Each structure stands twice: as structure tokens, then as C-alpha cells.
Amino acid sequence: MSAPTPHVVELRNLRLQFEEKKVLDDVSLIVEPLDRVVVMGQSGSGKSTILRLILGILPPTSGSVFFKQFEISRLPRRKLQQIRTRIGMVYQYSALLSSRNVRDNIALPLEELTKKSRDEIDRTVDEKLEMVGMSGVKDQMPSELSGGMRKRISLARALVMDPELILFDEPSAGLDPVISSVIDELIISLSEQSKVTSVIVTHEMDSAFRIGTKMAMLYRGKIIEVGTPEQFRQSTNPVVAQFLSGSTEGPILEGSGDAVAPK
């Protein structure tokens, strides 16, 4: 009998604190192979911080972050760099280098982290551009592209090392609803086509329900609910219900200083 497949990501009793500010408080979460896990919560709740902890950019105050069998915070720098080649990242505002054309932006990880020839790199770049529907733009500069096009290029760059895991930080940020839907569908199709696991941070509910196979709600430093999109729709947790509805009435604003004054 074969050994069970390890989780792709596991956050175990994770705490992160900066001086007096507690960002994450005893957070645990499991991401299984081929999951598309959406982490949602208010702005400033620590969602993007979770992505930085998975990448090993931030060390936790306590607790553990695992990628497969590797505990990220305990890895020597060289091994951590190797692990990062198996993780793609799509940043909130694409984070393309303005001085490099599309080809060079996508090729950068291959040039820095592999010994592939220029011809091999060019073939890979062409393949990934085709996957995101952007063939024929590799000589253009990021400033010549629309926000949706830049997001596609960022996705192609995240795929260029054939990662096992892709992290998305607010993939719909700054995009209109139609282009947001196009990017959501692209994330779904590429995840399935490339057999890649995804963790998506967002507070856009339409995107969350469209993309996610599993959801986690972060509130005041804790994950208060984990479940399928359908379980979230039927949640009786008052915080989850308020967040999904966008209501100004409920526990989220109570005591935050943002509550709407009664008329």
C-alpha cells in the first residue's frame, strides 16, 4: 500500500506578532493537492501575510508552516530557494518589471534559476503565453498592456517553472467585473490543466465563490470557518454571514470604530 500523499501546505498553530500587534493567532489550515483554497477576510486581516509565511519571506512567531514534508521556517537558505522554485506567485498588481518586455519578464525565473539555453527558454515562454491567451505580445512593454493583460502575463510568469503550488494575492484587484471574471475562469482552467494547487487571497466575493473549491475565513487573527463554497453560503456564523452579505449590521463593525451611527 502506497504512503498517503502529504498535504501541499499545512499551517499548524501559527502565530505572528509584531511588538504589541497580534496579526495571526493560532491559525491552522490544510491545503490538499489540487485544492483551490480561498482565504478571505477584511482588509488588513492578515490574508496576504499568510502567503508571505508560506513563501518563507516572514518567519512565524510560533507554530509551523509546511510545504509538503518541508517545514519552511527551519530550512537553510539554499534549500528554501529550491523549494520556492516549486511555488509560483501572482502579485496583487502584477509586479512586472517596467524596464523589461513581456518575454524578459516571463523568462526571468528561468534565466536566474535554471541552466536552460535561450532557445529552450524562448520555447517555454511561448508555451506559457499561449496558455494564458497572450501569444504575440512578448516584445511589448508592461506600460503598453491593459491591467487584465498584465495580470495574464503575471500568471504566465508564475507558471513558467511548472510549480506545484501557485499563490494569488488579490487576483481581481483593479480589474473591472468582466475582466475579473475572465481572470477567474483562466485561474480555474490553468489550475486544472496544469494540475496545480492554489491558495487565493481575496475579499471579492464573486471571485471567491467562482474560483474556490474550499474557503477559509480569517477574522481578528483567527480562521473562524473552513468549508466548501456551499457550506459558506449556508453558514450560521454571524461574522461569515455579515461578510458575505456586506451588511453594515453585525459583529464585524461592533467595537471597531467603523460602526455606522444610528439615524
Which domains, and CATH codes, for the chain? 9-86+163-245 (3.40.50.300), 98-161 (no CATH)
Please give the grid coordinates belonging to residue 87. Answer: 511555488
- Residues 151, 175 contacting (CB under 8 angstroms): yes
Distance CA 249, CA 241 (A): 11
In this prediction, residues 25-45 reach a mean pLDDT of: 93
Beta bridge partners of 17: 22
pLDDT digits (tens, 9 = 90+) for 139-180: 999 999 998 899 999 999 999 999 999 999 999 888 889 999
Q: Facing residues of 62 across strands?
A: 15
Q: Of 244, 240, 205, give the one whose Cα is nearest residue 224.
A: 240
Higher pLDDT, 175 or 65: 65
Smallest CA-to-CA distance from 35 within 260, 262, 157, 200 is with 200
The C-alpha atoms of residue 168 and residue 181 are separated, in whole angstroms, by 15
Determine the average pLDDT of the residues in 178-196.
92
pLDDT of res. 254: 66
Check whether 123 has a pLDDT greater than 50.
Answer: yes
Picking from 263, 217, 256, the residue whose alpha carbon sits closest to that of residue 39 is: 217
pLDDT value at residue 32:
96
Residues above pLDDT 70, as percent of the chain: 94
Which residue has 471567491 as its cell numbers? 208
Biggest CA-to-CA distance, the chain? 68
Which class for 223: exposed (0-12), middle (13-18), buried (19 or more C-beta within 10 A)? buried
Q: Say if residue 262's pLDDT is above 50.
A: no
Q: Is the pLDDT of residue 14 over 90?
A: yes
pLDDT on residue 258: 46
pLDDT of residue 224: 94
Tell whether the model's pLDDT for residue 62 goes beyond 90: yes
Residue listed under C-alpha cell 534559476:
113
Q: What is the mean pLDDT of the chain?
A: 89
pLDDT at 188 over 60: yes
Judge contact between 131 and 159, C-beta under 8 A: yes
pLDDT tens digit sequence for 218-259: 999 999 999 999 999 999 999 999 998 888 888 887 655 444
Give 3-state DSSP helix, strand, coil % of the chain, rounded to 5.
40, 25, 40
* Mean pLDDT confidence for 124-153: 92
How confident is residue 94, by pLDDT bands cut at 50, 70 and 90? confident
The rounded distance, in Å, linking the Cα atoms of 218 and 226 is 9
Residue 42 cell numbers, joined? 477584511
According to the model, what pLDDT value does residue 3 have? 43
pLDDT tens, residue by residue, 36-55: 999 998 888 889 999 999 99
